[in-house]
Chains A and B, each alone.
Chain A
Amino acid sequence: MEVVPSSQLYYTVCLLSLHNHHNFLINQFHKRMISLRVPAPSSFNLQRLNSQALERRWRLGRDCFLSFSPSCVENRIGLGVRSTKSEMAPFTAAEEETLPEGLQPELMPKHVAVIMDGNGRWAKIQGLQPWDGHRAGVEALREIVELCGKWGIQVLTVFAFSTDNWIRPKIEIDFLLSLFERTLKSELETLAKNNVRISIIGDSSKLPKSLLEVINEVEEVTKNNTRLQLIVAVGYSGKYDVLQACRGIAQRVKDGEIDVEEIDEGLIEQELETNVTEFPYPDLLIRTSGELRVSNFLLWQLAYTELFFAQELWPDFGRNGFVEALMSFQQRQRRFGGRKS
């Protein structure tokens, strides 16, 4: 490699400061950049401003400070009225909605997984406390569960709480777990009526006893429902799942039930926590808030899953975002290592 002469160094320094400024601009527009499907780096598009927030019916019973972020101006959160949407609207077979235009029924995914990211950031942008963000997140989840039921998706797995989340402040964790408990209790009747089955996966050893009792009750009551299976991952980590499968298998080897040589992928699949469902492998994984990571969710099961990264924060995701994800999914060619002939 050549030694760079000093005059060129001068130009390099100029380029550098431009580059730094460029980076500064990138950071400013961070929330709106298309980060995954990237065109040539010389151009970047401003993503369409988030308009779904206008439909968010979440209101809080106190003042909300509007931040100066443009996306918040779009949101126009009202003041003073508590949300009236506290129960899921019952849906029956007669009300099964036709799919939105552009979606084909034969290409719908059987199993959709969602990483519900961005509650905290959403709350910060709105000028609210983190737990308000989580409450808004629950509303968004209700909407998606309804849509899945109506559109024939059979399994929906949501990443509610990861093993990494235990580091959050205790007050937030306590709120989250109690929110989870309250939501399960209040929604149990609606879910049972709507033929939804709930399963909880994850390391339950750290969960409070009252929550564990509610979980057992909910799982028991809904275990024969068939329309939609909602799997909630609480205290879950993909690596932990494989580890506990490994321990289960090792125990079976020790007991003489199977031979070490017989250990194969099918065996591990049987031992994983997702064995509660007939379709353990998601067809589509959606992650909101623009983060381009899998964050240790459903590690083994994501081998051939189509990934979709949405820029919106989870409380803003809603129906439009979901339709966009499904449309993107339906357009993809899935080859599983083979060749399209």
Chain B
Amino acid sequence: MVDQIRHMCVGINQILEQIHGFSRRCLFRVISMGPLPIHLAKKQDLEDGSGHKAGFSALMSMLQYCYELGIKYVTVYAFSIDNFRRKPEEVRSLMDLMLEKIKSLLDKESIVHEYGIHVYFIGNLALLSDQVRAAAEEVMQATAENSRVGLLVCVAYNSTDEIVQAVKKSCVTKLDRDMETIQLVDIEENMQMSVAPDPDILIRSSGETRLSNFLLWQTGSSQLFSPDALWPEIGLRHLVWAILNFQKSHSYFEKKKKKQM
């Protein structure tokens, strides 16, 4: 019964969005960034591990909402290179959790098959343990055929690191030619995130208003949204609110863009 109501709500939401008639179609892309929810774990006196597990289930439901609303690409910041500086036990438990969840993506009933998700793992994968890396590559290969929607998981990722790698690659390819010929497109096509268009919205939970070295290059013109709720508490209403705000400023922004062309 509850499930049916939930489906109806999402259905109503869908109709609302469609009849709205704003130009939020197709290449709409939302990024959600979840800082690790230690605050919640401490508040509720749970172990750290439960905080991350709660975060993961919040992530799964968020992904479902996004794909049902018709959003084509979702990028999540799972683990930053800076996070390696945390306590080894925490890092290890996170890695184990990630391994478990990555493997579960290959299950028949997982969300990947339900929505036809093409999963990408973005980041300096060499920094991960062999097991996690192998699992990630397996998932990427298994979902390579899917093309309906995209999920980009940033693991061992730092935006500055991504830019450094792209710069290195551009230097190598242009080494034998005049350096002035290096253009923006050369750097951009060497970015790992070039598989998807730039995000339209960036959501950061827990109320902090900073980018924390996430997608610095790609969020130049993204709408930033920073709800106070901690990641495991994030729900459909935050997503809808973010989208409504985006649509409000979108028409003004589109006009500016048209002037540029």
Contact = CB atoms under 8 A, between A and B. Distances in A.
Interface of A: 1-2, 4, 8, 12, 15-16, 19-20, 23, 26-27, 30, 35-41, 164, 167, 238-240, 242-243, 245-247, 249-251, 253-254, 260-261, 263-265, 268, 291-296, 299-300, 302-309, 332-333, 336-340
A263 B207 CA distance: 35
B16 A239 contact: no
A210 B16 CA distance: 56
4 nearest interchain CB pairs?
Answer: A337-B82, A296-B220, A303-B213, A250-B171
12 contacts: A1-B11, A4-B8, A36-B224, A36-B225, A38-B227, A240-B184, A243-B187, A250-B170, A263-B171, A268-B160, A294-B224, A299-B220
Given A23-B248, A292-B225, A302-B216, 19 more contacts: A2-B4, A8-B8, A12-B15, A16-B19, A35-B245, A38-B225, A41-B240, A41-B241, A167-B259, A240-B184, A245-B167, A250-B175, A260-B168, A300-B163, A302-B211, A304-B211, A309-B224, A336-B82, A337-B82
Given A254-B179, A260-B171, A309-B209, A36 B226 contact: yes
Contacts of A38: 225-228, 238, 241
A337 to B, nearest CB: 2
Contacts of A291: 249
Interface stretch (B83-91, B100-108, B116-124, B140-148): B83-91
Contacts of A260: 168, 171-172, 175
Contacts of A336: 82, 212
A302 B163 CA distance: 14
Interface of B: 4, 7-8, 10-12, 15-16, 19-20, 36, 38, 68, 80-83, 85-87, 90, 159-161, 163-164, 167-168, 170-172, 174-175, 179-180, 182-184, 187, 207-213, 216-217, 219-228, 237-238, 240-241, 244-245, 248-249, 259-260
B102 to A, nearest CB: 22
Contacts of A2: 4, 7-8, 11
Contacts of A305: 210-211
Contacts of A239: 184, 217, 220
Interface of B: prevailing SS: helix
Contacts of A337: 80-83, 85-86, 212-213
Contacts of B259: 167
A12 B12 contact: yes
B17 to A, nearest CB: 10
B226 A37 contact: yes
Contacts of B87: 339
Contacts of B217: 239, 242, 299
A300 B212 contact: no
B248 A26 contact: yes
A99 B193 CA distance: 44
B80 A264 contact: no
A307 B228 contact: no
A117 to B, nearest CB: 12
A106 to B, nearest CB: 20
Contacts of A12: 12, 15-16
Contacts of B245: 35, 292
B213 to A, nearest CB: 4
Contact of A242 (B15, B90, B163): B163
Nearest to B208: A332
A294 B219 contact: yes
Contact of A338 (B7, B82, B163, B241): B82
Contacts of A242: 163, 167, 187, 217
B170 A19 contact: no
B224 A1 contact: no
A15 B16 contact: yes
